[in-house]
């Protein structure tokens, strides 16, 4: 059986999930996802995280083929989410003398998810664990993206085992290391992973990057996606950009439309943006496109223009759901434009303005509100809204 090594005594134990449709039963993963665990076979043996429950049997087979009867001494839990801790109870059952390593918050979660651990080691920032040749140091990075999250740094091999940080959606199709893969594929999937899963905690992620910057990291073993050994800056620079809300010049237009009138307003605005020289324009129908993809593009581009018809005196429900998701993500530092439509009673634009007040983004122009079909006066206002947005982002 092929054994994939990060270093002489460090092994990759990973599995590709091509069957699951929704990550966390929420985010679409059309290209699947990889669950990564790592094993250090030193004088003492350490597992770093486990894998999703469905892979337990094959996981044990990989471990047995490396250790040949040798026991596992430590299970290091960087992150307690069940896609990484799913085999924890089975590991403890197989190795009853194993010491589980985590921080105080880790063990609170273990007690609630699985069982109390008989042998435990509570660690904090700077705690070290000597395995023989390999010395591991632990650092806390809370809320990237759970409160107990930590990373494990192998001081000997200069490998950072980063948990969910620096991960990506998408399976590893043959290649495991970044230099074995076409990273163009992971351009969107790593950003979608960050924006969907970690993006609410950009401040904490930025703080974690600063904290880890003093380490001489040669390789990054994330819990999802590629192992980074050649071009670490590819992923590090992106995480720095995304966590600091750095955007490109572009506009995302999100609309809802029942009979096409609001959609026509979106098309007019998009065309005028293009005539102003804006090349990155993304138009999404909130009734059709999963919010996962829209969130990712909002992180990517500086401008957001939202339009909706009035529905039962309020906001068209798919747009309302979208705005709730965006507000919950607490994305910062964008330009905003608004437009709406109604037939017999307004309400949508009023609700859109409430969203604007909550987000505290800069409104580039007054909201445009039309009654039924788009007419000359509001047509001109749509053009003016697009002109104002283009002036801001270019």
- Rounded Cα distance between 108 and 101, Å, is 13
The three-state secondary structure class of 68 is: coil
pLDDT digits (tens, 9 = 90+) for 79-123: 999 889 889 999 999 999 999 999 999 999 999 888 788 899 999
- Which tens digit of pLDDT belongs to each residue from 299-329? 999 999 999 999 998 999 999 999 999 999 9
Phi-psi region of 9 (alpha: psi -120 to 50; beta: other; left: phi over 0): alpha
**Which pLDDT does position 345 carry in this prediction?**
85
Question: Is 248 exposed, middle or buried (CB count within 10 Å of its CB: 0-12, 13-18, 19+)?
Answer: exposed
Instruction: Dump pLDDT digits (tens) for 248-288.
Output: 999 999 999 999 999 999 999 999 999 999 999 999 999 99
- The confidence score (pLDDT) of residue 114 equals 86
Query: What DSSP assignment string belongs to 357-381?
Result: HHHTPEE-S--EEEESS--HHHHHH
Q: What is residue 100's predicted lDDT score, i.e. its pLDDT? A: 97
Q: How far apart are CA 191 and CA 210, in angstroms?
A: 20
Q: pLDDT-based confidence at 227, cuts 50/70/90?
A: very high
Structure confidence by residue, pLDDT tens digits, 20-35: 999 999 999 999 999 9
Going by pLDDT thresholds of 50, 70 and 90, the confidence category of residue 1 is low
Residue 128, SS3 per DSSP: strand
Helix (H) or strand (E) holding 138: strand 135-140
Cβ atoms of 23 and 30 within 8 Å: the answer is no
Domains and CATH numbers, the chain: 4-243 (3.60.15.10), 248-393 (3.40.50.360)
Contact 91, 101 (CB under 8 A): no
Q: What is the pLDDT of residue 332?
A: 93
For the entire predicted model, the pTM comes to 0.93
User: What value does the mean pLDDT of the chain take?
Assistant: 96
């Amino acid at each position: 059986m092929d054994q994939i090594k990060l270093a002489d005594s460090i092994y990759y134990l990973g599995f590709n999930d091509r069957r699951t449709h929704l990550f966390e039963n929420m985010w679409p993963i059309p290209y699947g996802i990889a669950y990564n665990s790592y094993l250090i076979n030193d004088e003492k043996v350490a597992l770093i995280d486990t894998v999703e429950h469905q892979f337990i049997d094959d996981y044990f087979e990989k471990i047995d083929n490396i250790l040949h009867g040798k026991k596992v001494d430590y299970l290091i839990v960087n992150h307690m989410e069940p896609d990484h801790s799913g085999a924890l109870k089975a590991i403890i059952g197989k190795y009853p003398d194993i010491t589980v390593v985590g921080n105080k918050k880790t063990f609170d979660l273990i007690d609630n998810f699985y069982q109390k651990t008989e042998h435990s080691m509570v660690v904090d920032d700077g705690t070290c664990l000597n395995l023989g040749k390999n010395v591991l140091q632990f650092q806390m990075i809370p809320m990237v993206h759970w409160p107990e999250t930590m990373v494990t740094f192998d001081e000997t091999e200069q490998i950072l085992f980063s948990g969910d940080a620096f991960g990506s959606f998408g399976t590893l199709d043959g290649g495991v290391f970044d230099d074995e893969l076409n990273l163009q594929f992971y351009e969107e999937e790593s950003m979608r992973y960050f924006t969907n899963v970690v993006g609410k905690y950009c401040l904490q992620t930025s703080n974690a990057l600063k904290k880890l910057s003093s380490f001489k990291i040669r390789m990054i073993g994330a819990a999802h996606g590629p192992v980074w050994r050649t071009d670490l800056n590819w992923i590090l620079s992106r995480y720095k950009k995304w966590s600091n809300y750095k955007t490109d010049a572009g506009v995302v237009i999100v609309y809802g439309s029942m009979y096409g009138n609001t959609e026509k307003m979106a098309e007019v605005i998009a065309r005028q943006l293009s005539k102003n020289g804006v090349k990155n324009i993304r138009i999404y129908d909130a009734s059709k496109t999963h919010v996962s993809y829209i969130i990712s593009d909002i992180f990517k581009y500086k401008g957001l223009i939202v339009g909706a018809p009035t529905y039962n005196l309020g906001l068209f429900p798919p747009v309302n759901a979208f705005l709730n998701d965006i507000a919950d993500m607490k994305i910062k530092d964008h330009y905003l434009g608004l437009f709406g439509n109604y037939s017999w009673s307004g309400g949508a634009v009023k609700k859109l303005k409430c969203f604007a007040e909550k987000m505290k983004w800069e409104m580039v122009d007054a909201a445009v509100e039309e009654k039924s079909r788009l007419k000359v006066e509001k047509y001109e206002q749509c053009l003016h809204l697009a002109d104002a947005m283009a002036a801001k982002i270019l």
